[in-house]
């Protein structure tokens, strides 16, 4: 990234695209809920990063910048989406079509079902993604920056302009909610827990 | 499994720290450790689920294509806030936020406007001061001669005189050598001022002028010093001046240490303004000469904006020589600004035929 910022090296930027486009897409998808729109926004993230080239200072936290841009686009999109009210493939059905808790994409033979046996079972993956989508926005963005972006709590705090402790708290709350939502799938959850 | 709602704040902090730094998990008590491990497991599953999100295979190529199109476009100003401020709030609200420098720019612009406005007001513009001179003259026509100003006290005058640079010794009778700056407040072209040319009356005998004759003799004796006689610059030189009129003054400070040129004023002073009919007229005349001297100083310092109104007043003085000097001063100011002072000089000559020496010396 330093090479790109200093010299405008296109190859360097291409490497950045290669490294970050997947996590950015995954991050945005959990907010936007629409694959086509997520693809557009993913492109927009890198176009905006390109425009910021002259202002980027190599502080070693390009990942922070990437997800900051992605987050802002997600926020803007969610505000616009409030006026759209259309079904997305990935949005949980929430009881529509007589199948609560499953997205339309899940009911259709989706192409994002993992093939690898070592991967999560579709049911588990679906449940996890549903649980993540049900998180409050503040917890979800922390959680996704952590798991999708691989960011440390310090980096998340810097991106969101909140304290480290707040980041840790939100992460803990998010994990607790997921734990409760997935309790029936975990044999360690012996039903004795009261959370 | 432990219910987190039952944990103490300290335990929660330890749990959260362990989520951040796995090395701290070993320090957790068993109950917390179990909860921590469950959280870690869920995080790992979630990461796996999200990483399994199928990304369109051509997305990377499309992104690169968009980037190349952006690079090929005409350069546009960079969007977004600076990196250090981009990460927290790179959104529409932040972009529309007024920049920090806008208030400073507004204040600077207002200051510039005020400065330009003050400089263009007539008081500050010498050129306009000249143009309005006729207005001033009309205004001053009915005004009496300038009254004594607080700082016109003789003692102050004397100190001012002492503070002046010494007059060139070589001031001669010819009105000063060319190329030499001759302070014509002491030397009127090097020519002694004819007493008869002055219109100010000698101070009338009486209490107001008791000291005058003796002092005038002194001044005449000192008049022989270089510099000749020119219009007085100090009250000491003016017959009937407050000093001569018996007005009390603070003790002269080092009067004997005056520069030769200043001493010559006293001799001239006896000649330049003739005695006034009474003490008050003498006072006024003395003050007028002092005022003229001040105006001359302003003019020489390039402050014609301050000198011209004074000259304009003094052109109405009863003393012809004083008025002639005032007209000459106006003409010199006009020339200093690239204008023509001929009309003023003509008026000055009409009042005092010997004014040309002064004018020539001032021009040099």
In chain A, the domains with their CATH numbers are 1-86 (1.10.1740.10), 117-183 (1.10.10.10)
Q: Is residue B107 part of a domain?
A: no
Q: Please judge whether B47 and A148 are an interchain contact, meaning their C-beta atoms are less than 8 angstroms apart.
A: yes
Residue B181, pLDDT > 60, answer no
B94: nearest CA partner in chain A: A72
Q: Is residue B308 part of a domain?
A: yes
Domain count, chain B: 2
Q: Chain A closest CA to B106's CA: distance in Å?
A: 26
Rounded CA separation B31/B336 (Å): 97
Residue A28, pLDDT > 80, answer yes
Same domain, B12 and B159: no
- The residues, any chain, with a CB within 8 Å of residue B302's CB and separated by 6 or more, are B336
Query: Residue B363's pLDDT is what?
Result: 86
Q: Is residue B131 part of a domain?
A: no
B38: nearest CA partner in chain A: A179
- At B82, phi and psi to the nearest 5? -65, 155
Query: Residue B128's pLDDT is what?
Result: 57
Same domain, B154 and B274: yes
Q: Chain A closest CA to B27's CA: distance in Å?
A: 18
Query: For residue A148, which residues of chain B lie inside 8 Å, CB to CB?
Result: 47, 50-51
The residue with greater pLDDT, A175 or B150, is A175
Residues 163-182 of A with CB under 8 A from B: 164-165, 168-169, 171-172, 175-176, 178-179, 182
The residue with greater pLDDT, A172 or B246, is A172
Please give the average per-residue pLDDT across B303-324, as a whole number. 91
Same domain, B192 and B328: yes
Query: For residue B67, which residues of chain A lie inside 8 Å, CB to CB?
Result: 10, 13-14, 17, 46-47, 50
Query: Could you report the per-residue pLDDT of A135-187, keeping only the tens digit for each?
Result: 999 999 999 999 999 999 999 999 999 999 999 999 999 999 999 999 887 76
Check: CB of residue A181 under 8 Å from CB of residue A133: no
Check: CB of residue B355 under 8 Å from CB of residue B349: yes
Same domain, B218 and B352: yes
Residue B240, pLDDT > 90, answer no
Which pairs count as long-range contacts for A32-35, CB under 8 Å and 24+ apart, including other chains? A32/A74, A32/A77, A32/A78, A32/A81, A32/A88, A33/A81, A33/A88, A33/A89, A33/A90, A33/A91, A33/A133, A34/A88, A34/A89, A34/A90, A35/A88, A35/A89, A35/A90, A35/B56
Give B364's DSSP letter: -
Q: Is residue B111 part of a domain?
A: no
Helix, strand, or coil (residue B232): coil
Q: Check if B86 contacts A (Cβ < 8 Å).
A: yes
Mean pLDDT of chain B: 69
Q: Please judge whether B5 and A195 are an interchain contact, meaning their C-beta atoms are less than 8 angstroms apart.
A: yes
Q: Is residue B145 part of a domain?
A: no
Nearest to B48 by CA among A156, A168, A174, A124: A124
Please give the average per-residue pLDDT across B67-85, as a whole number. 64
Query: For residue A26, which residues of chain B lie inside 8 Å, CB to CB?
Result: 50-51, 53, 55
Query: Could you report the per-residue pLDDT of B269-309, keeping only the tens digit for each?
Result: 444 544 445 567 777 778 888 899 999 999 999 999 999 99
Q: Chain B closest CA to A65's CA: distance in Å?
A: 5
Q: Which token pair is B303?
A: 């402050």
Q: Is residue B109 part of a domain?
A: no
Residue A191, pLDDT > 60, answer no
- At A100, phi and psi to the nearest 5? -65, 145
Residues 228-267 of B with CB under 8 A from A: none
Rounded CA separation A74/A80 (Å): 10
Please give the average per-residue pLDDT across B153-171, as a whole number. 45
Q: Is residue B303 part of a domain?
A: yes
DSSP states of chain A: -HHHHHH--HHHHHHHHHHHHHHHHHHHHHHH--HHHHHHHHHHHHHHHHHTGGG----S-HHHHHHHHHHHHHHHHHHHHTTT----SSS--TTGGG-TT--HHHHS--TTS---TTSPPHHHHHHHHHHHHHS-HHHHHHHHHHHTT---HHHHHHHHT--HHHHHHHHHHHHHHHHHHTGGG-TT--S----
Q: Check if A143 contacts B (Cβ < 8 Å).
A: yes
The ipTM estimated for the assembled molecules is 0.76
Please give the average per-residue pLDDT across A111-118, as a whole number. 43
Q: Check if B58 contacts A (Cβ < 8 Å).
A: no
Query: Residue A92's pLDDT is what?
Result: 52
Highest-pLDDT range among A97-101, B3-7, B64-68: B64-68
Q: Which domain range does residue B351 map to? A: 150-165+173-363
Please give the average per-residue pLDDT across B249-253, as a whole number. 46
Which among B38, B47, B86 has the least Cβ separation from residue A188? Answer: B38
The residue with greater pLDDT, B25 or B151, is B25
Rounded CA separation A36/B56 (Å): 10
Give the best residue of A18, A35, A68, A154 to mutate against chain B (max B CB count within 10 A): A68
Burial class, B253, CB count within 10 angstroms (exposed 0-12 / middle 13-18 / buried 19+): exposed
Check: CB of residue B13 under 8 Å from CB of residue A145: no
Rounded CA separation A90/A11 (Å): 34
Q: Is residue B130 part of a domain?
A: no
Query: For residue B66, which residues of chain A lie inside 8 Å, CB to CB?
Result: 43, 46-47
Same domain, B231 and B355: yes
């Amino acid at each position: 990234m330093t090479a790109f910022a200093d010299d405008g090296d296109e190859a360097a930027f291409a490497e950045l695209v290669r490294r970050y486009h997947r996590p950015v897409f995954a991050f945005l998808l959990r907010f936007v809920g629409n694959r086509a729109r997520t693809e557009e926004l993913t492109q927009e993230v890198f176009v905006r990063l390109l425009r910021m080239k002259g202002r980027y200072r190599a502080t070693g936290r390009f990942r922070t910048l990437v997800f900051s841009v992605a987050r802002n686009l997600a926020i803007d999109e969610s505000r616009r989406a409030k006026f759209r009210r259309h079904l997305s493939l990935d949005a949980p059905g929430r009881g529509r079509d007589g199948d609560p808790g499953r997205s339309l994409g899940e009911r259709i033979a989706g192409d994002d079902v993992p093939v690898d046996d070592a991967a999560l079972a579709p049911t588990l993956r679906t449940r996890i993604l549903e649980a993540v989508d049900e998180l409050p926005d503040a917890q979800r963005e922390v959680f996704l920056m952590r798991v999708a972006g691989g960011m440390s709590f310090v980096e998340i705090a810097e991106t969101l302009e909140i304290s480290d402790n707040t980041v840790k708290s939100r992460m803990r709350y998010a994990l607790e909610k997921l734990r409760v939502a997935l309790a029936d799938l975990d044999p360690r959850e012996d039903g004795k827990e009261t959370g | 499994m432990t219910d987190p709602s039952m944990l103490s704040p300290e335990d929660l902090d330890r749990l959260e720290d362990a989520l951040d730094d796995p090395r701290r998990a070993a320090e957790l008590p068993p109950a917390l450790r179990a909860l921590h491990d469950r959280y870690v497991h869920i995080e790992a599953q979630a990461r796996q689920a999200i990483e399994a999100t199928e990304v369109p295979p051509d997305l990377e190529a499309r992104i690169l294509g968009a980037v190349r199109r952006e690079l090929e476009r005409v350069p546009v100003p960079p969007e977004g806030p600076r990196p250090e401020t981009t990460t927290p709030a790179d959104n529409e609200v932040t972009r529309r936020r007024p920049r920090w420098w806008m208030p400073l720019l507004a204040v600077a612009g207002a200051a510039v406007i005020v400065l330009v406005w003050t400089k263009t007001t007539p008081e500050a513009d010498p050129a306009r001061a000249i143009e309005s001179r006729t207005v001033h003259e009309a205004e001053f026509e009915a005004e009496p001669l300038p009254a004594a100003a607080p700082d016109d006290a003789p003692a102050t005058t004397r100190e001012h005189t002492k503070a002046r640079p010494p007059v060139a010794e070589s001031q001669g009778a010819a009105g000063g050598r060319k190329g030499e700056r001759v302070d014509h407040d002491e030397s009127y072209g090097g020519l002694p001022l004819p007493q008869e040319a002055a219109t100010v009356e000698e101070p009338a005998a009486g209490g107001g002028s008791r000291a005058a004759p003796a002092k005038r003799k002194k001044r005449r004796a000192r008049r022989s010093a270089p510099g000749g006689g020119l219009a007085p610059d100090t009250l000491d030189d003016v017959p009937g001046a407050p000093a001569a009129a018996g007005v009390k003054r603070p003790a002269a400070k080092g009067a004997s240490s005056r520069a030769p040129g200043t001493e010559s004023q006293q001799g001239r002073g006896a000649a330049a303004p003739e005695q006034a009919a009474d003490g008050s007229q003498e006072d006024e005349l003395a003050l007028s000469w002092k005022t003229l001297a001040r105006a001359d100083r302003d003019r020489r310092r390039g402050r014609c904006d301050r000198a011209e109104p004074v000259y304009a007043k003094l052109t109405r003085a009863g003393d012809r020589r004083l008025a002639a000097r005032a007209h000459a001063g106006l003409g010199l100011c006009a020339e200093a600004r690239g204008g023509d002072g001929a009309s003023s000089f003509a008026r000055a000559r009409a009042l005092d035929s010997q004014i040309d020496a002064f004018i020539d010396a001032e021009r040099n």
